[in-house]
């Protein structure tokens, strides 16, 4: 006699958590209390917008504050973790997270600042090859950055920013369509600036295939990895990506406005003809404090730095990168597939007759830890607010009609996914 498992039951969610090969690290994060629902803590599925705070962060920041109080300016060289080379403490772990060599990686600035710094070097338009390739549903900051860069070079964004759109009636791009644009229009494109994981739909792009096609077409392959870093395994050096930029406050849980990251492939590092915006921290640290009027360049990603590192903001990045080093992206990706797959299964089972459709690709290999749902009538802000206040579920709304659920595998559980799906069904049924 064959028994069937009812995936909709709370008991099944608990069994999945108990049997999971990677037990949750939820206890190592501050989980907000719930303002509604039957549970003391929220089910937090908004880590694609802002990750939860690791409990180890406060101790690291307090150590920096204590060194500042004890040492003053001498903390730059005498602190427990000296401030002058502080960014170097993050380099190796950040490189491992994105599949890069340490010399190719630097933690600095914020994401859009880094996008602009990369475009200064790698968007070098000519009358024939002048375009930047992005997705039509790119995060708005990427659109603004691309438009402002082409204007700086005297081009019209309407012609010089190529926006990839899905086929009619579809929500996501197809890899073959992206490759076709690179084959047929690549001679006009200077650089790509595509999102590795699309912020709105959660679609995971085929980074290696698109990178290879771009380079075959003579196009610089650049990526915004804001929603990919800490979400999916990356092999930037191996894939031949030219440049990439990302933030650390989403899946990497490093706090609001955390310092971001940059990757520049080693084949570009010794090219001193590349145009760059430069500052004090662009110069060789061995000669930096000689206060020379001329810059002494270094052939690493550090040469794209401008200013000294913000220590109190970098301490949370250090705390979080230690967790990723401990757990590893392969294990996290495997759990992410289990959690997101279970959430998708629950939404299908509970919401089949409700006014909602899934935007994220059904193929697990084409999505990260995110399920984006389009509401067919209800307002996304209203639904998100009711999820939180009535059921203790925190999701992320994107106006006017998209709600995004991100079961981040470091702290989310199958039970969180169960709560989210049941709460969504309850809110939609209530009207």
3-state secondary structure of 234: coil
Inter-residue contact 121 to 245 (CB < 8 Å): no
Average pLDDT rounded to a whole number, residues 34-50:
96
Average pLDDT rounded to a whole number, residues 103-118:
98
Inter-residue contact 61 to 315 (CB < 8 Å): yes
| Cα–Cα dist 288/31, whole Å | 43
Q: Which two tokens stand for residue 146?
A: 């691309």
Average pLDDT rounded to a whole number, residues 84-94:
97
Strand-pairing partners, residue 406, are: 46
Q: Which two tokens stand for residue 310?
A: 């913000």
Query: Residue 4 pLDDT more than 80?
Result: no
Q: Which two tokens stand for residue 274?
A: 């590349």
Helix (H) or strand (E) segment spanning residue 37: none
Number of Cβ within 10 Å of residue 204's Cβ equals: 25
Query: Residue 86 pLDDT more than 80?
Result: yes
353 DSSP assignment: T
> CA quadruple 349, 351, 353, 356: dihedral positive or negative?
negative
Radius of gyration of the chain (CA): 23
Selection from 276, 300, 298 nearest residue 116 by Cα: 276
Under the banding of pLDDT at 50, 70 and 90, the label for residue 3 is low
CATH number for the segment(s) 10-30+329-430: 3.90.1150.10
Inter-residue contact 378 to 428 (CB < 8 Å): yes
| Cα–Cα dist 372/398, whole Å | 10
CA distances from 12 to 17, 104, 407, 424 (A): 9, 45, 17, 18
Helix (H) or strand (E) segment spanning residue 211: helix 207-216
Question: Over the stretch 346-398, which tens digit does the pLDDT of each residue have?
Answer: 999 999 999 999 999 999 999 999 999 999 999 999 999 999 999 999 999 99
| Cα–Cα dist 230/368, whole Å | 10
Question: Over the stretch 252-285, which tens digit does the pLDDT of each residue have?
Answer: 999 999 999 999 999 999 999 999 999 999 999 9
User: Burial, 182: exposed, middle or buried (Cβ in 10 Å; 0-12, 13-18, 19+)?
Assistant: buried
According to the model, what pLDDT value does residue 17 have? 98
262 DSSP assignment: E
| Cα–Cα dist 324/45, whole Å | 19
- Specify the residue for token string 């880590």: 47
| Cα–Cα dist 214/302, whole Å | 26
CATH T-level topology, domain 61-326: 3.40.640
| Cα–Cα dist 34/358, whole Å | 26
3-state secondary structure of 194: strand
Selection from 183, 175, 227 nearest residue 202 by Cα: 227
**Interhelix angle for 329-351 vs 414-430, to 10°?**
30
- Specify the residue for token string 């939180």: 388
Query: Residue 9 pLDDT more than 60?
Result: yes
According to the model, what pLDDT value does residue 325 have? 98
Query: Residue 114 pLDDT more than 70?
Result: yes
The pairing of strands 402-405 and 396-398 is: antiparallel
Cis amide leading into 400 (omega within 30): yes
Domain boundaries, the chain: 10-30+329-430, 61-326
Query: Residue 1 pLDDT more than 50?
Result: no
According to the model, what pLDDT value does residue 431 have? 86
């Amino acid at each position: 006699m064959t028994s069937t498992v009812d995936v909709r039951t709370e008991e099944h969610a608990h069994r999945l958590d108990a049997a999971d090969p990677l037990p949750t690290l939820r206890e190592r994060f501050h989980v907000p209390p719930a303002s509604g629902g039957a549970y003391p803590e929220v089910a937090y599925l908004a880590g694609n917008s802002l990750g939860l705070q690791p409990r180890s962060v406060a101790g690291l920041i307090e150590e920096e504050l204590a060194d500042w109080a004890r040492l003053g300016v001498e903390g730059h060289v005498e602190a427990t973790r000296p401030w002058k080379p502080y960014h170097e403490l993050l380099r190796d772990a950040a490189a491992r997270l994105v599949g890069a060599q340490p010399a190719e990686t630097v933690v600095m600035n914020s994401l859009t600042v880094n996008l602009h710094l990369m475009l200064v070097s790698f968007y070098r338009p000519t009358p024939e090859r002048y375009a930047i390739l992005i997705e039509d549903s790119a995060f708005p900051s990427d659109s603004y950055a691309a438009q402002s860069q082409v204007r700086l070079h005297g081009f019209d964004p309407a012609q010089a920013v190529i926006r990839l759109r899905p086929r009619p009636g579809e929500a996501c791009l197809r890899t073959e369509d992206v490759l076709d644009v690179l084959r047929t229009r690549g001679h006009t494109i200077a650089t790509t600036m595509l999102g590795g994981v699309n912020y709105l739909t959660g679609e995971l792009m085929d980074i290696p295939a698109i990178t290879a096609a771009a380079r075959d077409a003579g196009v610089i392959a650049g990526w915004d990895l804001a929603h990919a870093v800490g979400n999916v395994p990356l092999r930037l050096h191996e894939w031949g990506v030219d440049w990439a930029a990302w933030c650390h406050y989403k899946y990497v849980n490093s706090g609001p406005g955390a310092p971001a990251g940059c990757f520049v492939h080693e084949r570009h590092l010794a090219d001193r003809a590349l145009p760059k915006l430069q500052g004090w921290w662009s110069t060789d640290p061995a000669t930096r404090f000689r206060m020379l009027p001329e810059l002494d360049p270094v052939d690493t990603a550090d040469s794209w730095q401008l200013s000294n590192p913000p220590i109190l903001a970098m301490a949370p990045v250090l705390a979080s990168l230690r967790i990723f080093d401990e757990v590893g992206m392969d294990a996290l990706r495997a759990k992410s597939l289990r959690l997101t797959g279970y959430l998708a299964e629950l939404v299908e089972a509970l919401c089949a007759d409700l006014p909602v459709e899934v935007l994220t690709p059904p193929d697990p290999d084409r999505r990260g830890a995110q399920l984006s749902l389009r509401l067919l009538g209800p307002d996304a802000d209203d639904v998100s607010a009711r999820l939180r206040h009535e059921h203790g579920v925190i999701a992320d709304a994107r106006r006017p009609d998209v709600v995004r659920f991100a079961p981040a595998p470091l702290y989310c559980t199958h039970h969180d996914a169960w709560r989210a799906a049941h709460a969504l069904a309850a809110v939609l049924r209530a009207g």
